[in-house]
Amino acid sequence: MQYQNLYISYVNPQVPSDTFTLQYKLRDNTVVPKWCERIESAQNKYKIDDPNRFYGFGSKKDQETDAVARINNVIDIINSFEPIVKKRVESIDDQDTLNYLHHVFEEYHGLLDQQNHSFWQRAPDEVRKALADLNIFVHRCESVKNARPRHVVTYFGLPKTKTLQPEDFNYFEDQYQFGTVYLNYVEIGKTLEDLAQDNDQYIGDDAFKQFNYYSADFNVKFWNDDARQIESKRAIIKQYYDSHAEFFVAKNLPWGHYSLAPGNIPLADLQYTGSRKELLEKLSTHQQVREVILL
């Protein structure tokens, strides 16, 4: 079926009857039909696994307190089973600790289709969930630190089996636009851009995964990058690549390889004529996704 628009319904968690819907016009690129098919597959069998994944809205101090409490709670749950996590988060500004925690997640959770670590095999469901949440809460801390409003929609149960084709990478954009929907990275690991932005020294075969698989998962960004930010980001990525060139070249990934492209693939654009300030204020109180519809 040929779709034209995406509609997302937002609800106030405190007042379930208080909802509103935003319209997003689908882009014309090779990835959109593939993503729409994944959305259909997800909605036939799965619910949105966490409809409250909103970042960068409201008081930054409150967000910081909440993010630190969440991640330390899952660390406690993991360590109550077996003390594998050697660090706790005192501040969201401690990127090295966040990198370490992400490395723990990668090592003990395993890859998308290779969850073979003995810890994962032995762990009860509560601990497995805490380990999966460790990844989510690392990214929550990083998102709060960057203070850029966005929300994420994921269907965890949907198998991540579909891969992008080389021509799809022509549609990557690294200058994000307010109200644009982007495809989610669904690998267990980090792209070159993520490694560079985090200055992650835990680089390795488990840590680095080029953007390859895709799913129904997406995110909506509510900010605009400016040209200076983009140039700075590109310079940081190039510097990181040069510092680890031997690692990437050994993987047949020379500088400029399409799968190392920074940014993401845009899927749809917000159709809204009101005040952006008022929209952000409204989203700050409607931080739950009730429904995703393609029409």
Mean pLDDT computed over 128-145: 87
Mean pLDDT computed over 238-250: 94
pLDDT of residue 111: 62
DSSP codes joined into one string, 87-150? ---S-TT-HHHHHHHHHHHHHHH-BTTB---HHHHHS-HHHHHHHHHHHHHHHHHHHHHHT--E
pLDDT of residue 168: 97
pLDDT of residue 59: 77
Mean pLDDT computed over 156-175: 94
pLDDT of residue 95: 87
Q: What is the pLDDT of residues 77-118, one digit of tens each?
A: 999 999 999 999 999 889 889 989 988 988 888 765 566 688
Q: What is the pLDDT of residues 36-74, one digit of tens each?
A: 999 999 998 999 998 999 988 877 888 899 999 999 999
- Is the entire prediction scored with pTM above 0.85? no
Give CA–CA dist 232/25, Å, rounded.
Answer: 30
Give CA–CA dist 182/251, Å, rounded.
Answer: 27
Higher-confidence position of 189 and 84? 84
All domains in the chain, ordered by first residue: 1-55+160-295 (2.40.100), 58-148 (no CATH)
Mean pLDDT computed over 260-265: 95
Task: Return mean pLDDT, the chain.
Answer: 92
Higher-confidence position of 180 and 50? 180
Within 13 Å and on the Cβ side, how many CA atoms surround 269? 7
pLDDT of residue 114: 62
Residue 8 CB contacts under 8 Å (≥ 6 apart), including other chains: 21, 22, 24, 153, 220, 289, 291, 292, 293
- In the beta sheet, which residues pair with residue 23? 7, 271
Residue 192 CB contacts under 8 Å (≥ 6 apart), including other chains: 208, 210, 237, 240, 241, 248, 260, 262
Closest CA to 187 of 169, 171, 211: 211
